[in-house]
Structure 1
């Protein structure tokens, strides 16, 4: 997969604000009353950040990320806004994790290729929801041994369960 081309395609999504609103509307029923981990969008990722997100990721090593409450942000690894807090949240405290994607095929997400989410999700026991625009769907991805499928994929037009 040419991730660079997929990211460029994601950056070209038309009517972005309208589509992000539709994604959030489809996403919120899964989050109601749940402790939810999300992300700070970069490079054209669907922006679903809001008061329903209780925790966001922070990269703490070359292979590990943790989740923290979303307060007092600064630019961290890869230019992503990360919380400055050191109050790490245990994965058992998270009910739902909302995961960004470069692309998706079925319930498999394609990320940036560093494996942070796959390592985290490997032992995560809560609900895993990938969010993307319809335009990010591909049909020729062969998942690797390390890829962790999502439980749900939410786009602006559908929910894949």
Structure 2
């Protein structure tokens, strides 16, 4: 599986630890930054990773910031993305099994490295079996309706009177 990983400066150290851990697996890792402890705005990284998933450049992703909340919100603003905050093994498994989440998010100031590695392992070890397909489809359908309405409004605004 091709896994994207990204963080802001608050998540840099944890991202590096996860990178080291994943380098010993069969997964291909794509690092979207940040690449140091210099200040980086988490939406920039979250949007880049979300775009890569949308373009099918990667299969799944792990995003990290201080709490995991900011990158989760930002990733979920990208059309078609389902990101889930996961700070325990059960949530990580359910993110994939129940919600087909392409992204899990972690909070470096919330979760320790040892637990984070277990969460990542749990998330990557399961695949969606469409058990909650009806619910996931409702989310997708609602998002598509909203986007279609937005596109209609933009098209209407571009016509000359």
Q: Same fold (TM over 0.5)?
A: no
Normalised by the size of structure 1, how large is the TM-score? Answer: 0.34
Normalised by the size of structure 2, how large is the TM-score? Answer: 0.34
More strand by share: 1
More helix by share: 2
Q: Find the structure with the greater CA-based Rg.
A: 2
Higher relative contact order (CA 8 A, sep 6+): 1
